[in-house]
Amino acid sequence: MSLFDHLQPEALDPIMAGFQEFGADSRPDKVNLGVGMYYDEDGRIPILQVVNSAEATLSGRVTSWGYLQPDGLPALRDTAKRLVFGDTLLAALNDRIVTVQSLGGTGALKLGADVIRRLAPASTVMLSRPTWGNHPSIFAGAGLQVAEYPYFDPATGGVDWPAMRDAVAGMAPGTVLLLHACCHNPTGADLRPEDWQELAGLIQDRRLVPFLDMAYAGFADGLEADSQHACWPGLACRHSSRPRSPSPSPSTANGSAPCPSSPLMQPRRAWSGTN
């Protein structure tokens, strides 16, 4: 009897299955709505100019491919932190921020899920209905409970914010609330700045654990604006007072004013949740 006798073949990932079906379909007018990637007019996935430039810059500069520390490349972690939080929040919160380099977004989600499982094994992770197809299996695979909150309203093509708000308001303390920072996958429907702000207050009041998946920063309103969603508890009110195309402010390096009323900027309340 082999160790592997009970291993069952996994069903093909539904997104990848669609990709394969698309490839096999001979109709000339077919459109691939499955995998979210940019294609050029010739059906090729272009390499962004910035990637080519970065490769050219690095070429010849790298002198060694030694081991990294387990948490990754310090310069990358530092830059990512700056990108997500911006200079102002970073200065205020730096001692509460930890960055770890991961293998892509999927690896980051898996790391986050494992951390939650270790710290609070009885946690339930609430996912938007619908959500990215791999979210449920990543969190359930880490041994966590997974459930859904209402999100998309097919009638309007937008977020059903009242339904989402009511669901969030009823969540138990310690519940992990998974949010898409921008470009919600698969619907493309995002919260409005005022919704983010209200949500931040609810999360604070209900003592929920926000878990933001920021897979598409830069694809909605630009890199800076999109990144700010990922630290919305501190930045939501900056959004509501900012024009959509921000002009740099002389007061701060990233063109945003700090938000004194934001939950993140206030002293943390003592945690007294059950899990």
> Applying CB under 6 A, does 215 fall inside the site for ligand PLP?
yes
As a whole number of angstroms, the distance between CA 153 and CA 157 comes to 6
State yes or no: residue 232 binds ligand PLP (CB under 6 A): no
Minimum separation from the CB atom of position 184 to ligand PLP (A): 8
Please tell me the distance from the alpha carbon of residue 36 to that of residue 216, in angstroms, as a whole number.
10
Q: Are 240 and 193 in contact (CB under 8 A)?
A: yes
Closest approach of ligand PLP to the CB of residue 178, in Å: 9
Q: Rounded to the nearest whole angstrom, what is the least distance from the CB of residue 213 to ligand PLP in the complex? A: 5
Task: Please report whether residue 190 would count as binding ligand PLP according to CB under 6 A.
Answer: no
The interface region with ligand PLP, picked from 4-12, 98-106, 241-249, 262-270 by CB under 6 A, is: 98-106
3 state SS of 214 = coil
Nearest residue to 179 (alpha-carbon basis) of 218, 137, 128, 223: 128
Nearest approach in angstroms of CB 18 to ligand PLP is 13
Alpha-helix residue ranges (DSSP H) falling in 94-231: 104-119, 135-141, 161-169, 193-206, 223-229
Q: Is 106 in the site for ligand PLP (CB under 6 A)?
A: yes
Nearer to ligand PLP, 180 or 238 (CB): 180
Contact map string, positions 162 to 181, toward ligand PLP, x by CB under 6 A: ------------------x-
* Contact status: 132 vs ligand PLP (CB under 6 A): yes
Q: Name which of residues 14 to 43 contact ligand PLP (CB under 6 A).
A: 36
Token pair 């380099």 in the structure block, residue: 101
In angstroms, the CA 160 to CA 165 distance is 9
Could you give the CA distance from residue 106 to residue 114 in angstroms, rounded to a whole number? 12
Give bridge partners of residue 178 from the DSSP assignment.
211
Task: Report in angstroms how near the CB of residue 132 gets to ligand PLP at its nearest.
Answer: 4
d(CA 243, CA 85): 19
Enumerate binding residues for ligand PLP (CB under 6 A).
36, 104-106, 132, 180, 185, 213, 215
